[in-house]
Chains A and B, each alone.
Chain A
Amino acid sequence: MKIAITATGANLEASVDPRFGRCACFLVVETDDLSFEAVENPNVALGGGAGIQSAQLVASKGVTHVLTGNCGPNAHQTLSAAGIVIVVGCSGVVRDAIEQYKAGQFAATGEPNVASHFGIGRRGGR
């Protein structure tokens, strides 16, 4: 299964970035063998629409699931239109979050869990 997870850095030892649209980095991970591609997020500093652009970016990577901390309404709508399952509430080290997800510790969310612009003005990356 191919998933995208929001991360503060370009490796599995980085932390899960709680923001979706303005996360530092997307890790596109093959969950079977944990092979991954790191995609730097070009939308970090976008004035508006970062969630939508980021959703389109991960959709273009062909993932079926997104793991992140929080997801706003526009990103949620875009990901859902692409048929991607959204899992919020992830935190800690990326590698652990993936293992926990595989063990069934997080549930998918049918709704955005934060309002628009949640990720603006927060401290990003490391």
Chain B
Amino acid sequence: MRIAIASGKGGTGKTTVATNLAYVGSRNGRSVVYVDCDVEEPNGHIFLKPDLDGATPVGTLVPKVDESKCIHCGDCGDICQYSAIVSVGDAVLVFGELCHGCGGCSLVCPSGAISEVLHEIGEVHVGSTGPLAFAHGLLRVGQAMSPPVIKAVKAAAPAADLAIIDAPPGTSCPVIESVRDCDFLLLVTEPTPFGLNDLKLAVAMAREMKLPFGVVINRADLGDRETHLYCGNNDIEILTEIPDDRKIAESYSRGELAGEVLPGYRRMFETLLGRIDLRAG
């Protein structure tokens, strides 16, 4: 089973929920893998402290032009939908960070001047922490396209009965790439006007993608009741409410897992996992 954890915005406690679910799952005799798809700012490793293998580079194929063969017909620039290649003056420029690696330009080039080379955009690491398997990826600084790295992290993650997919914040392409094949989507939110606004976007995404989903409200005793009302009015199940507890904040700031050091929270996350198991079959 694959459970993805997402939130419309950052800082809602998504990683806290994801790492704790992975931890309690793996301590109850299941084979579990935690997959951190937030490749721009992975932080699951801070709490899970895995031993990691060496880096595997991830790249996309980008065109490389042999100027001596180029006849400056401009066909490559005309076919490219992303302005990633352009024939101008007596040069052909390639903008690797805009290229989607579709191969169109090398297909249309009449003189065979274009070959494809690997353009490294990030790396993937796999490892383990106790019985829990672990995978994460790192997008290289300055790179704009994280989906290929996310795809690579998911592909590299060791097989397990339960995969916990920690999605990046937001509702854009990288999130969709992360959650697309999950069996259940858990949306983490906070009961504030901003939190609710972003939750609505995340709910729209889940419905559009036809993913079964439920909500966890973090710092549930802060803020207002609007999020509860919204969920009630829209048939959205609130699976767990996590209180605004100083002890959680302290364990977080020490890089500890609440589910490991606080027995009450271990039970809370076990119950949450049990509920998801029931919903996702």
Contacts and interface: CB of A to CB of B under 8 A. Distances in A.
Contact of A49 (B83, B88, B89): B83
A49 B91 contact: no
Nearest to A46: B83
A56 B98 contact: no
B89 A83 contact: yes
Main secondary structure of the interface of A (DSSP, over half): helix
A74 interface: yes
A112 B208 CA distance: 41
B162 interface: no
B89 A81 contact: yes
B77 A59 contact: no
A82 interface: yes
Contact of B82 (A49, A59, A82): A49
Contacts of B91: 81
Given A48-B98, A55-B88, A59-B88, A81 B83 contact: no
A77 interface: yes
Nearest to A53: B83
Contacts of A77: 93
Contacts of A113: none
A59 B89 CA distance: 8
A64 to B, nearest CB: 12
* Residue of A48, A52, A78 contacting most chain B CB atoms (<10 Å): A52
B86 interface: yes
Contacts of B95: 49, 52, 74
B147 to A, nearest CB: 15
Nearest to A81: B91
Given A48-B98, A74-B95, A56 B82 contact: no
Given A48-B98, A74-B95, A56 B86 contact: yes
A55 B84 CA distance: 13
Interface in B60-90: 77, 82-84, 86, 88-89
A56 B93 CA distance: 11
Interface in B35-50: none
Interface residues of B, number: 11
Contacts of B86: 52-53, 55-56, 78
Nearest to B83: A49
Contacts of B89: 59, 81-83
A78 B93 contact: yes
A49 B84 contact: yes
A59 B88 CA distance: 7
Contacts of B82: 48-49
Contacts of A74: 83, 95, 98
A82 B83 contact: no
Contacts of A53: 83, 86
B88 A56 contact: yes
Contacts of B88: 55-56, 59, 78, 81-82
A82 B84 CA distance: 16
Contacts of A78: 86, 88, 93
A111 to B, nearest CB: 17
7 contacts: A48-B98, A49-B84, A53-B86, A56-B86, A59-B88, A74-B83, A81-B91
Interface of A: 46, 48-50, 52-53, 55-56, 59, 74, 77-78, 81-83
Ranked 6 nearest A-B pairs via Cβ: A49-B83, A52-B83, A82-B89, A81-B91, A82-B88, A81-B88
Given A52-B98, A83-B89, 16 more contacts: A46-B83, A48-B82, A49-B83, A52-B86, A55-B88, A56-B77, A56-B86, A56-B88, A74-B83, A74-B98, A78-B86, A78-B88, A78-B93, A81-B93, A82-B88, A82-B89
